[in-house]
Structure 1
Amino acid sequence: MKYKKILKGIFLERPNRFVAKVLIDGKEETVHVKNTGRCRELLLPRAKVILEDCSDNPNRKTKYSLISVWKGDMLVNMDSQVPNAVVYQALKENKIPEITDLSKVRREVSFGNSRFDIYFESENQKGFIEVKGVTLEHQGISMFPDAPTERGTKHILEMILATKEGYRGIIFFLVQMKGPDLFRPHWEMDSKFSEALKLAKENGVEVLIYDSIVKDNSIEIGKPIELDLITRP
């Protein structure tokens, strides 16, 4: 996925979860934050950020959207709308070896009381994929979630039901950076979500984790990284 027009800035503060104050060419601007998560370890004062120029949209309240931030020498995409699009595009381009030869791929399909991100079909199977974007990293380990998520737990439990009805169920974590070589559920932040993920794996739900190739103006799927469901704090 590519952004049409980007520019650089310096993060100053985040008054609320929807907007941030950013210094652009020496001028302070209020920008939209495309991630309502906490992102506290990313949005630090004076952090270098990448913004999307949306000034050609007359309906917007802000000219720019914050899409990526530098964490040391690692660029982290924090656009929460990106993971679904990246995984969907990768499926269409046959870039995920675990899920190939698909005859149908659709986005936002309902099952039970949930709406899963992707529905797919191949000659011999039908299945659902729930995509989670990962922006939290600590000492080379990526983790999810960065805030408690009842909705995320609900999706996982619904995915277990889908597999019991004969569908192939996949929870797909897209790590929105290149660097971490391991993924763990964030037990300390949300033990219910973490337990649900472990239960899902034990009940036939597949858990896939891929990193990303992140550039100033683009993000695309990278390579698989290791899953650790055992280690707890």
Structure 2
Amino acid sequence: MQYQNVKFGIFESRPNRFIANIQQDGESIVCHVKNTGRCGELLIPGAKVAVEESANPKRKTRYDLVSVEKAGRWVNIDSQIPNLIVEQWIASSGFFSEKCQICREKKYGKSRFDLYVQDGERRAFVEVKGVTLEEDGVARFPDAPTLRGIKHLEELIQCLSDGYEAYLIFLIQLKGVHYLEPNWKTHRGFGETLLRAKRAGVKILAYDCQVEPDKIFIDQPVPVVMGGE
């Protein structure tokens, strides 16, 4: 994924989850934040950020905040990116053939999964979770309680009993993590449901990304350490 018209600034504040104030060339600018999560360990006053300038003159905000520098490396926080990257990657992943058909936002039960893959007689639902929280080389999800995440896991388990394959892919939007684990401290219920999904047969995968201010792409598989097993 390549961004266009990327510029840099210094993070100042985040008045609400949708906007942030940054300093750019001595001017304070309001940006749209492409992530409604907390990102509290990233969006710290003084942090260097990358923003993409919009070509739409009718927008209320001129820039989208897409990446943050943390400890000398870039972390992509664009929550719209993981689904797109995984969709592009699936056909070359080895899990499905290059001729597989992919559908976005496929409804199943009471949920709408990010991706649905049909590959010959194989049918699979894929849910994608972007991960930006990293602590001491460990990626964790979620960064806040997520009842929606639990619902998706329960529906993935149900998919298996109906003859579908089920995948949960954690896309870690940075490089340099040793493994991923559920954030037991923040939401134990998600961790317990994830563990149950794994035991039921849901394929749980994690991949890190190479990230630069103006680009991001999937790189290497990362171990998923469940804990609580």
Instruction: Give the structure-1-normalised TM-score.
Output: 0.95
**Structure 2 Cα separation of the partners of residues 223 and 146 of structure 1:** 22
Show the counterpart of 1:65: 64
Cα drift, residue 101 of structure 1 = 4.2
1:123-181 Cα deviation digits (max 9, x unpaired): 24100100000000000000000011111110110000001111000000000001102
8 Å CA contact 2:99–2:119 kept in 1: the answer is: yes
8 Å CA contact 1:102–1:121 kept in 2: the answer is: no
Cα drift, residue 61 of structure 1 = 0.8
**Structure 2 Cα separation of the partners of residues 158 and 72 of structure 1:** 38
SS state at 1:210 partner:
strand
**Structure 1 Cα separation of the partners of residues 96 and 178 of structure 2:** 21
8 Å CA contact 1:209–1:227 kept in 2: the answer is: yes
SS state at 1:226 partner:
coil
**Structure 2 Cα separation of the partners of residues 231 and 39 of structure 1:** 26
Given candidates 117, 125, 130, the residue that maps to 1:128 is 125
Gaps of 5+ in 2: none
Q: How many residues are treated as equivalent by the alignment?
A: 229
8 Å CA contact 2:9–2:50 kept in 1: the answer is: yes
Cα drift, residue 107 of structure 1 = 1.0
**Structure 2 Cα separation of the partners of residues 154 and 102 of structure 1:** 30
Aligned sequence identity (%): 44
1:21-58 Cα deviation digits (max 9, x unpaired): 1001111001111000000000011000000101x213
**Structure 2 Cα separation of the partners of residues 154 and 137 of structure 1:** 24
**Structure 1 Cα separation of the partners of residues 39 and 73 of structure 2:** 15
Show the counterpart of 2:49: 49
Show the counterpart of 2:139: 142
Cα RMSD of the aligned pairs, angstroms, is: 1.2
8 Å CA contact 2:133–2:141 kept in 1: the answer is: yes
8 Å CA contact 1:109–1:117 kept in 2: the answer is: yes
Show the counterpart of 1:17: 17
8 Å CA contact 1:102–1:120 kept in 2: the answer is: no
Question: What are the equivalent positions in structure 2 for 1:64-213 lying under 5 Å apart?
Answer: 64-92=63-91, 94=92, 96-213=93-210
